[in-house]
């Protein structure tokens, strides 16, 4: 399947540009209303308020959906009342989207009532499921599929979204906020005492149960970083990489040390410079280390924002 949001293979109708609001940078409290409205003054800039995790949209409200896709991937279910496969698929898609607890949202489009949206996406057969990430369409699948396959597509969608900086979450308007505190207290406690085996085991278990669990991803990344740097001298690691700038393993170790030492920009420059001249397994290992350090620092860190663009250029 094609899952590159940078490639827009659709032919939108005039006046219905799918990327029309991609560059909109208004603070969410300044936006008027609807599903694109902000998180009601929530402190977390990654949160976006929606009327529900699954909601109906039409041509008039679709730009709000595109705005949401800057921070949360939006699954689009194009359906029609006359489509029997669609009647089977739609409940499955909604159930799976809702199981991701806000890491995805679902916009349901009745193609009979909104023919321009169907034409904009270049969709000929119904049912058809696509996604929108950062204002760009991402083809997923068409026709009825069993629930495990639907979930597998959405797992891959979240990976792709994360690699493109879309790591926010949706908050249902009026819903009570969960109590604050660590999402995985036992794992966090193990991490704090340096028991990386236990921490990794607990975070991995959490991810097996919920692949979209960002707190578990964050914890696992920190546990891996701690394990790699245990008993290491950060300055020695950096010096070794500087002395052998083409050594992939030395570069990865030095980047770890630089992130812990508060110099993530240098870490990402080191790794991405090597990615540009590497190939095969070495290039993939470097890419994965960059993504892991993104998890450690968080999507909002300025060094991550800058490095994400550099990484995309280095890879493509």
Burial of 250-259, coded b for 16+ CB within 10 Å and e otherwise, reads bbbbbbbbbb
Unique residue bearing structure tokens 């396959």 = 149
* 9-57 pLDDT, tens digit each: 333 333 332 332 222 222 222 333 344 444 333 446 678 888 899 999 9
The predicted structure's pLDDT at residue 2 = 41
Same structural domain for residues 112 and 228?
no
Same structural domain for residues 81 and 195?
no
pTM assigned to the model? 0.49
Distance CA 89, CA 143 (A): 8
For residue 296, being part of any structural domain is answered with: yes
Q: What is the mean pLDDT of residues 136-142?
A: 92
Unique residue bearing structure tokens 């959405």 = 154
Same structural domain for residues 166 and 195?
no
Same structural domain for residues 211 and 265?
yes
Judged by average pLDDT, the poorest of 149-153, 178-182, 267-271, 309-313 is: 178-182
Name the nearest CA neighbour of 231 among 203, 188, 194. 194
DSSP state of 96: H
Distance CA 47, CA 67 (A): 13
The predicted structure's pLDDT at residue 157 = 92
Q: In this structure, what CATH number is given to the domain that contains residue 292?
A: 1.25.40
Which tokens go with 51? 């009327």
Name the nearest CA neighbour of 312 among 1, 3, 69, 6. 6
Same structural domain for residues 146 and 216?
no
Q: In this structure, what CATH number is given to the domain that contains residue 106?
A: 3.40.30.10
Query: Is 60 exceeded by the pLDDT of residue 192?
Result: yes
* 56-102 pLDDT, tens digit each: 999 888 888 888 999 999 999 999 999 999 999 999 999 999 988 88
Cβ atoms of 256 and 237 within 8 Å: the answer is yes
Which tokens go with 236? 């020695």
């Amino acid at each position: 399947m094609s899952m590159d949001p940078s490639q827009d293979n659709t032919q939108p109708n005039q006046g219905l540009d799918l990327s029309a609001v991609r560059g909109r940078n208004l603070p969410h409290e300044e936006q008027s209303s609807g599903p694109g409205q902000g998180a009601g003054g929530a402190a977390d800039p990654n949160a976006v308020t929606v009327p529900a995790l699954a909601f109906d949209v039409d041509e008039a409200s679709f730009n709000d959906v595109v705005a949401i896709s800057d921070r949360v991937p939006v699954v689009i279910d194009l359906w029609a009342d006359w489509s029997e496969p669609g009647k089977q698929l739609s409940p499955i898609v909604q159930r799976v989207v809702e199981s991701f607890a806000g890491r995805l949202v679902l916009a349901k489009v009745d193609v009979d009532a909104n023919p321009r949206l169907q034409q904009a996406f270049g969709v000929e057969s119904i049912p058809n499921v696509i996604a929108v990430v950062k204002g760009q369409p991402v083809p997923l699948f068409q026709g009825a599929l069993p629930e495990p396959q639907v979930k597998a597509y959405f797992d891959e969608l979240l990976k792709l979204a994360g690699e493109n900086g879309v790591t926010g979450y949706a908050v249902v308007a009026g819903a009570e906020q969960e109590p604050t505190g660590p999402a995985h207290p036992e794992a966090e406690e193990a991490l704090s005492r340096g028991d990386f085996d236990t921490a990794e085991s607990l975070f991995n278990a959490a991810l097996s149960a919920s692949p979209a669990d960002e707190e578990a991803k964050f914890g696992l990344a920190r546990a891996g970083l701690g394990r790699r740097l245990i008993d290491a001298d950060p300055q020695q690691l950096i010096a070794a990489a500087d002395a052998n700038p083409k050594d992939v393993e030395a570069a990865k170790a030095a980047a770890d040390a630089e992130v812990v030492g508060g110099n993530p920009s240098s870490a990402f420059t080191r790794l991405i410079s090597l990615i540009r001249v590497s190939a095969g397994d070495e290039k993939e290992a470097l890419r994965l280390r960059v993504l892991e350090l993104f998890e450690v620092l968080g999507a909002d860190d300025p060094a991550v924002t800058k490095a994400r663009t550099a990484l995309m250029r280095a890879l493509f």
